[in-house]
Chains A and B, each alone.
Chain A
Amino acid sequence: AQSVTQPDIHITVSEGASLELRCNYSYGATPYLFWYVQSPGQGLQLLLKYFSGDTLVQGIKGFEAEFKRSQSSFNLRKPSVHWSDAAEYFCAVGALEGGGNKLTFGTGTQLKVEL
């Protein structure tokens, strides 16, 4: 079965600083990988996705993520964080499993932005 680990529960960065949120996955084949963002009390918004091809993918709001097969990682990055980026971020892996289709989510990383 696939799994996702987000090792950082909370991260605090200053506005304008760079950001990297870590995500490690476990899956036997090439996974489909996603990053979602959730503002307080809201649903999840898809930031970016990786299916195949170029391992550096661009998303909305200036975010990017890099798929590294050798490290089983899909870390999310942003060169300059804005106060509005404060939210919870979820990494997810999609894979066929036991005849069914499933997205497995990490437990999330809460991002706080200091002004």
Chain B
Amino acid sequence: EVQLLESGGGLVQPGGSLRLSCAASGFTFSSYAIIWVRQAPGKGLEWVSTMGVSFRNTYYADSVKGRFTISRDNSKNTVYLQMDSLRVDDTATYYCAKGRVSGWDGGDRWGQGTLVTVSS
């Protein structure tokens, strides 16, 4: 069974850092893209970042560019989202999702999400 499990969320002060993990199982991890999407409380979905199958294929929303870094460790079937210089408006539930193919085309599986709260 395909599963994605996010972890690493929590409470952090503005300017701080967190590293989110998306641990995958049930499929050939190295062959699929993984994305991060976030949802601020009571708001809609916002695409954050995409990790393609190649380590060079990384993409970011303007709102996080230069502060967040996505990476993957195929030996651990895990994608990471390193979040630095966190701001109050980064507060959200962060979801990872698996692409249907090597790129993103709507995906087919989502994790349950991890909550990040940025507050002093």
Bound pair: A and B?
A: no
Partner-A contacts on B (CB < 8 A): none
